[in-house]
Amino acid sequence: MLTLKEKNVLVTGGAGFIGSHIVDRLSGDCSVTALDDLSTGKAENLSGTENVEFVKGNLDDFDLVRKTVIDADIDVIFHIGANASVPNSVAQPRYDFNSNALGTFNVLTSCLDSGVAKVVYASTAAVYGEPVQTPIDESHPLHPISPYGASKLAGERYGFAFKETYGLDFAAIRIFNTYGTRQPRYVMYDFIQKLRANPHFLEVLGTGEQIRDYCYVSDMADAFALVAERGHGVYNAAGGNPVSIKALAELMVSIISPEAEIQYGGKTWAGDVNTLYADISRIRELGFKPKVGFEDGVRQMIAWFEGR
Cβ of residue 199: shortest distance to ligand NAD, in angstroms?
27
Please identify, using beta-carbon distances, which residue of 185 and 261 lies nearer to ligand NAD: 185
Which residue has the CB atom at the shortest distance from ligand NAD?
41
Catalytic residues: 148
Residue whose CB is less far from ligand NAD, 33 or 260: 33
Q: How far is the CB of 249 from ligand NAD (least distance, A)?
A: 18
- Using the minimum distance from each CB to ligand NAD, give the nearer residue, 54 or 201: 54
Give the amino acid at 258: P
**110 CB neighbour count, 10 Å cutoff:** 23
* Type of residue numbered 86: V
Pairwise CA distance, residues 162 & 111, whole Å: 10
Instruction: Reply yes or no: is the peptide bond before residue 135 cis, omega within 30 of 0.
Output: yes
Q: Distance of CA 57 to CAs 63, 219, 279, Å?
A: 10, 28, 36
Spatial neighbors of 211 by CB under 8 A, at least 6 apart, are 134, 242, 243, 244, 245, 274, 275, 276, 277
* Minimum CB–partner distance for residue 41 and ligand NAD (Å): 2
Q: How far is the CB of 39 from ligand NAD (least distance, A)?
A: 4
Of 11 and 302, CB closest to ligand NAD: 11
Distance (Å, whole) CA 167 – CA 160 = 9
Q: How many CB atoms lie within 10 A of CB 42?
A: 15
Output 27 or 99, the one with its CB closest to ligand NAD: 99
Q: How far is the CB of 28 from ligand NAD (least distance, A)?
A: 21
Residues that bind ligand NAD (CB under 6 A): 13, 15-19, 36-41, 58-60, 80-84, 99, 103, 122, 124, 152, 175, 177-178
Q: How far is the CB of 231 from ligand NAD (least distance, A)?
A: 16
- Nearer Cβ to ligand NAD (58/218): 58
- Alpha-carbon distance values, 215 to 19, 205, 219, 284 (Å): 15, 21, 7, 13
Q: How far apart (Å, rounded) are the C-alpha atoms in residues 145 and 6?
A: 40
- The closest of 37, 9, 36 to 23, measured between CA atoms, is 9
Q: How far apart are CA 84 and CA 172, in angstroms?
A: 16
Q: How far is CA 105 from CA 62, 108, 121, 147, 196, in A?
A: 9, 5, 12, 17, 42
